[in-house]
Amino acid sequence: MDQFSFKKGWEQVQQKDAPEVKTKIMKALNLNPLSRASWKLRLDGTVEPKVSEAASIEAIFNEYGITEIWGS
């Protein structure tokens, strides 16, 4: 489960960018913006991302200069 977590990347996001990054990731994962439970399940790696979702997550973090993404 830990290998599918993107906490490592999330912890590197600057506070000022966090809302924007979260919105982009939630949109890429097709999550309801009001669903904190769905966000947590994905952030923790409980729900394994599809290959296309993982690529989208990596691309979003890369926009902010974050390359170490997976793990906790």
CA dist 53 and 16 (Å) reads 24
Residue 34 has pLDDT above 90, yes or no: no
Domain layout of the chain by residue ranges: 2-63
Q: Could you report the per-residue pLDDT of 4-27, keeping only the tens digit for each?
A: 999 999 999 999 999 999 999 999
Mean pLDDT in the chain? Answer: 94
What does 17-40 look like in DSSP terms, one character per residue? Answer: GHHHHHHHHHHHTT--TT-HHHHH
Q: Could you report the per-residue pLDDT of 61-71, keeping only the tens digit for each?
A: 999 999 999 99
Q: Could you report the per-residue pLDDT of 40-51, keeping only the tens digit for each?
A: 999 999 999 999
CA dist 66 and 63 (Å) reads 7
Of residues 33 and 63, the one with the higher pLDDT is 63
